A and B are shown apart, each in its own frame.
Chain A
Amino acid sequence: MKYAVIMVPDFALHALRRSEPGLASKPVALIEGDGRKAVLTEVSPEAATVAPGTTATLAMARCPGIVLRTRNPCDAEDSSRLLTAAAFTLSPRIEVTSSEVRTIDLQGADGQQTEAAMHRCVLELTRLGLPARAGAGDTPLLALYAARCAQPVLVIRHTQGFLHDLPVGFAEPTPAQAEVLENWGITTLGRLAALPKAEIGRRLGTDAAALWERAAGQATRVLRLFPPPVSYAAQWDYEPPIESLEPLLFKLRRYAECLASELRAAGCVAETLTLSFKLEDDSSHHRAFRLAEPGTHVDTWLKVLLAHLESLHLPARLIEVSLRAKPVRAAVKQDGLFDTGLRDPLVFWENLSRVAAIIGDDRVGTPHLADTWRPDSFTLEKPAQSIPAPAAPPLHPAKGGVLRRFRPPRPVTVERGHGRPTQLHGTMNGMIRAVHGPWRASGQWWSPEAWGVETWHIELDDAVYQLARIGTDWVIEGEVD
């Protein structure tokens, strides 16, 4: 097989149902035209008493309760992107043949792996509300025939045998050609292909020669390749503006699924999600969420976004939303045999992202001390996947209490006697009962960021505090527990 086709029959109808979940079990039809001339173009299986071509008035009489809708390109946009993203999981060379058909160039691909990928692709699309079919063959046309016959995946291995019993209608003859063929008793592609091509052309014209090629599965063409997405972003409007979370979350999920599919097709995962709102009063709101564990799991994304949205109060109603995912290559690593891993890694990284959404990306993680003596110098890093074995006990174990910092430090005025602090005034007051120190440290004297600090531990009536002199200023840096 050299080509594959993924198609979603009644695509517009399924896209409409994805955008309006309330229509799931109701009889629905899409109409074209206005007033009395409006006719049904696509009909859901629930409306069995009507068929495409029926006028809207007749349809309502024959099928009470039928829901009629016109085509809305906006409804189908994210569904169309999903279908395209699914096609990109099979090959980077795809063609957007029509709204419901994607043709994929499989040349060079492994047959067995591709067939398995087609099954996965169809299952995923069906899960997302787009019941798809996939077919594969040696030409784009054969792949399309296969997709039309697939339940839900069909790979043509013997072309002649496959075409033999297909109705002539598959080759799309003109009405005049169809009438002649019917008079000749030609009802299947196999019987049409059995006739000599030259004689068909001589009797029915050059168009009939093309029809014969289509019937024999020999018609081929060059695909108009569709470029893969260069950025992973989705933007949508609300008309009228919205002021509650529910409609936002509904569309957020749909577009998140779309972005996740596109990322998976490109072999990437999302490292950062950026959510932007445009409000009715022309103001805007932006927030970036760095995912603790980059991935394409939509439920995790939504939990992270929801953790932020639940506490968000905006000054005006929402008119426009955009969601952008920053892609990175998925990291692949293997843990050591004796490493202590996580009980549930998915939950761990998901919850870490939710915590980051609540308090900020830079405020959660594992502290890593900087290589300096400068006080309060550390960075917060991503927690390790597995906890390494403990290091040997330190040669000089820690002594005294543990500092708890006041951030920011509290400025005080210090009275001194014999070069040592004796009394505090300002944000903290009191006579100093005992004092330890000083400990002096300095660094980066060669740069404008030179620093120096003199630290004391002072005992007041209630507790022990860490007092520091930075230049001429005194501050209480924290309490020693």
Chain B
Amino acid sequence: MLAQFLAITRAARQRIALVDATDSFAPEAIEPDLLRHLVWARCHDLTEMLAVADVLVRDGNYAIVMLDLRDVPGGALNRTPKTVWHRLHRVAEQQPAAVPIFSRHGLVPAVRWRLRLEPSTIDWTTPRQQWLNRLQVEVMRGHLWQEMSA
């Protein structure tokens, strides 16, 4: 999904930011040309990530600001006051940037859409693009979830 965001924004020559809470992004796994418009912030922990996300979401120069929380311990996410996410949501609403948040559990409140991605078994012989198209997406929450499900 992250690679797909990179490809879409690269084709449109838009800027994209990845706020990486646990410094887990591997640039060598992505084609070099898909990295030229990326600003990658390698945070040490969730606190830093929230501070950086606040700055970048307000920026206005990014088409997408991705927040990767996948390896953040559930305890740290639970301890984060919900007001922090609500505030980030309010900021994001006023900016042109889309703010996808990747997490292992649906712990982030105040989101407009919550999607569950169910990967199929990794097929090592199929191009990544085709493999991504087989990704199963379930709408957990959303204003138009019926239409999406349909």
Contacts and interface: CB of A to CB of B under 8 A. Distances in A.
Interface of A: 307, 311, 340, 342-344, 347-348, 351-352, 354-355, 358-359, 363-369, 375-378, 380, 383-384, 387-391, 394, 397-407, 436, 457, 459, 464, 478, 480-481
Contacts of A343: 60-61
A389 B128 CA distance: 22
A404 B70 contact: yes
A478 B26 CA distance: 9
Contacts, number: 149
Given A368-B35, A378-B28, A406-B24, A355 B131 contact: no
Interface in B1-42: 2-3, 10-11, 13-15, 22-33, 35-42
Contact of B42 (A342, A354, A364): A364
Max chain B Cβ within 10 angstroms of own Cβ: one of A343, A404, A405: A404
Nearest to B47: A311
A83 B29 CA distance: 55
A348 B61 contact: yes
A391 B3 CA distance: 16
A381 to B, nearest CB: 10
Among B2, B28, B71, which residue has the most Cβ atoms of chain A within 10 A?
A: B28
B127 A366 contact: no
A289 to B, nearest CB: 14
Contacts of B22: 407
A400 B28 contact: no
A363 B22 CA distance: 12
Contact of A383 (B39, B60, B125): B39
- A contact patch SS: mixed
A400 B3 contact: no
Contact of A366 (B25, B40, B51, B70): B40
A338 to B, nearest CB: 10
A364 B128 contact: no
Given A344-B60, A380-B42, A400-B124, 6 more contacts: A351-B56, A351-B59, A364-B41, A390-B13, A400-B131, A436-B124
Most buried by A among B3, B22, B42: B42
A344 B61 contact: yes
A388 B36 contact: yes
A481 B128 CA distance: 11
Nearest to B44: A359
B52 A358 contact: yes
A386 B51 CA distance: 26
A394 B7 CA distance: 12
B24 A407 contact: yes
Given A351-B55, A355-B55, A369-B32, A403 B26 contact: yes
Contact of A387 (B13, B28, B122): B13
Contacts of A368: 32, 35
A402 B24 CA distance: 11
Interface string B121-138: 011111111010000000
A402 B61 contact: no
A355 B40 contact: no
B111 to A, nearest CB: 20
A400 B61 CA distance: 32
A369 B29 CA distance: 10
Contacts of B24: 404-407, 478
A399 B124 contact: yes
Interface of B: 2-3, 10-11, 13-15, 22-33, 35-44, 48, 51-52, 55-56, 58-61, 70-71, 119, 122-129, 131
Contacts of A403: 26, 28-29
B127 A397 contact: yes
19 contacts: A340-B14, A347-B59, A347-B61, A348-B61, A351-B58, A352-B39, A358-B51, A363-B41, A378-B28, A380-B40, A397-B129, A398-B3, A398-B30, A399-B131, A400-B131, A402-B2, A402-B30, A403-B26, A478-B26
A364 B59 CA distance: 15
A203 B29 CA distance: 96
Contact of B36 (A375, A387, A398): A387
Given A359-B42, A400-B123, A402-B29, A366 B129 contact: no
Contacts of A352: 39
B39 to A, nearest CB: 5
Contact of B41 (A355, A378, A398): A355
B129 A355 contact: no
Between A307, A367, A391, the greatest number of chain B beta carbons within 10 A of the residue's beta carbon is seen for A367
A399 to B, nearest CB: 6
Given A348-B59, A388-B36, A355 B128 contact: no
B25 A342 contact: no
A351 B17 CA distance: 12
A407 to B, nearest CB: 5
Contacts of B28: 369, 375-378, 403
Contacts of A464: 122
A355 B22 CA distance: 16
A403 B36 CA distance: 19
Contacts of A351: 55-56, 58-59
A432 to B, nearest CB: 14
A387 B35 contact: no
Given A347-B59, A400-B122, A367 B23 contact: no
B36 A384 contact: yes
B56 A390 contact: no
A369 B40 CA distance: 13
B119 A481 contact: yes
A307 B55 CA distance: 10
Contacts of A389: 13
